[in-house]
Amino acid sequence: MSFDFKNRHIIVTGGAGSLGTAVVELLVESGAKCSVPCFNNAELNTFSLADHSNVFALSNIDLSDEETAQTFYADAIAEHGSLWASVHIAGGFRMGEIGDTPLTDFNQQFNLNTVTCYNSCRTAVQWMRKSDYSGGRIVNVAARPALEPRQGKGMIAYTVSKAGVAALTESLAAEVVNEDILVNAIAPSAIDTPQNREAMPDANFDKWLKPRQLARQILYLVSPDNEVTRGSVIPVYGKS
């Protein structure tokens, strides 16, 4: 399926990571203008699309801080214009059973996954209400354990934080549907990234989802072609 995002502005949090880069690549190939917040200079410096003419990227953006998130969205819109869609990939992963996961580690996962998503959703909705478009699209990234919590044994803080993303998605979708803002999430199983390979070296990588496969799913959900899907947390498990 081909997509036409010509002159549509889309923010992609976590856009410098493996999945995020795949999403941004497909979007700019389809004519979109993308804005990407990077957590630090190291992330920005390794982002292959940082110098693309249709990409606006800034470093030192901590999306768990409400004011910083608000400022980035405002800067992105000043650069690329009204916001059509916002894709929220930013987050983090940590293994750990409950006995080995102090509250500080739990709070870190909650901030990385749930709070960054909340701040991004909230800010996106505020700007979509003022945009030149009619409505908009939001896609969050949950995880398989968010839908199947028993799959989250040994990674309890991560599981709870991604369950928060799933609940946020369903609740927000019902709240803004009458404004033609369609909110969805994908819930992938393991994604084939260098970080996941390092964290789970004994896994069968051949069964893991490839970033570009997931990126195509995300593009449909944020595209104007998606006129009816909302409030879904879609399982994308592949063969794993």
Give the pLDDT of residue 168: 98
How do strand 233-236 and strand 181-188 relate by DSSP bridges?
parallel
Residues 145-153: what's their mean pLDDT?
Answer: 95
Whose CA is closest to 211, among 45, 10, 12, 72?
Answer: 12
CATH class of 9-236: alpha beta
Give the pLDDT of residue 1: 67
User: Who's near 51: CB < 8 A, 6+ residues apart?
Assistant: none
Cα gap 120→26, rounded to integer Å = 21
- More confident call, 20 vs 189: 20
Q: Given strand 233-236, what is the order of strands in its sheet?
A: 55-58, 33-37, 9-13, 83-88, 136-141, 181-188, 233-236
Q: What are 114-133's pLDDT values in tens digits?
A: 999 999 999 999 999 999 99
Residues 209-216: what's their mean pLDDT?
Answer: 91
pTM (predicted TM-score): 0.94
Cα gap 51→71, rounded to integer Å = 21
CA atoms within 13 A on the CB side of 96: 16
Cα gap 192→210, rounded to integer Å = 5
Helix (H) or strand (E) holding 136: strand 136-141
Does residue 102 register a pLDDT over 80? yes
Domain spans of the chain?
9-236
3-class SS of residue 86: strand
Cα gap 24→35, rounded to integer Å = 9
Q: What are 166-200's pLDDT values in tens digits?
A: 999 999 999 999 999 999 999 998 888 877 778 78
187: β partners:
235
Residues 141-158: what's their mean pLDDT?
Answer: 96
